[in-house]
């Protein structure tokens, strides 16, 4: 009796699995038809409209992450006793040697 109940349960699971697989096949077929319809509609669009469509699809695929506002230097924060001269900038420039340029 226990064996018969186990077999019935197994048959129920197999039937349910078959229904799910058939449903998946139907959904995949419906998705394929829908995609083909969309492709056909897309082919009738102008190049500009196609680009706009691509942008809209990309917006759904790539989540927009808010970019934090950059912190700018505060004017006068590093103020010294005198203004920088052209000579100060020339001194601060990097003048690499041949060895530094060649990675030696």
Q: Between 12 and 84, name the one with better pLDDT.
A: 84
Distance CA 75, CA 85 (A): 18
The torsion region of residue 66 among left (phi > 0), alpha (psi -120 to 50) and beta comes to: beta
**pTM beyond cutoff 0.75:** no
| pLDDT > 90? residue 46 | yes
pLDDT digits (tens, 9 = 90+) for 53-96: 988 888 888 777 777 888 777 777 777 788 888 888 888 898 88
53: exposed, middle or buried (Cβ count in 10 Å: 0-12, 13-18, 19+): middle
Domain ranges within the chain, ordered by starting residue: 1-64
């Amino acid at each position: 009796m226990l064996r018969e109940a186990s077999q019935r349960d197994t048959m129920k699971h197999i039937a349910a699995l078959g229904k799910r697989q058939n449903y998946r096949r139907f959904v995949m077929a419906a998705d394929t038809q829908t995609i083909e319809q969309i492709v056909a509609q897309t082919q009738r669009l102008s190049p500009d409209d196609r680009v706009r469509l691509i942008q809209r699809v990309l917006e759904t695929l790539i989540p927009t992450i808010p970019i934090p506002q950059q912190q700018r230097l505060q004017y006068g924060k590093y103020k010294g006793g005198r203004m920088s001269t052209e000579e100060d900038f020339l001194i601060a420039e990097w003048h690499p040697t041949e060895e530094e340029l060649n990675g030696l």
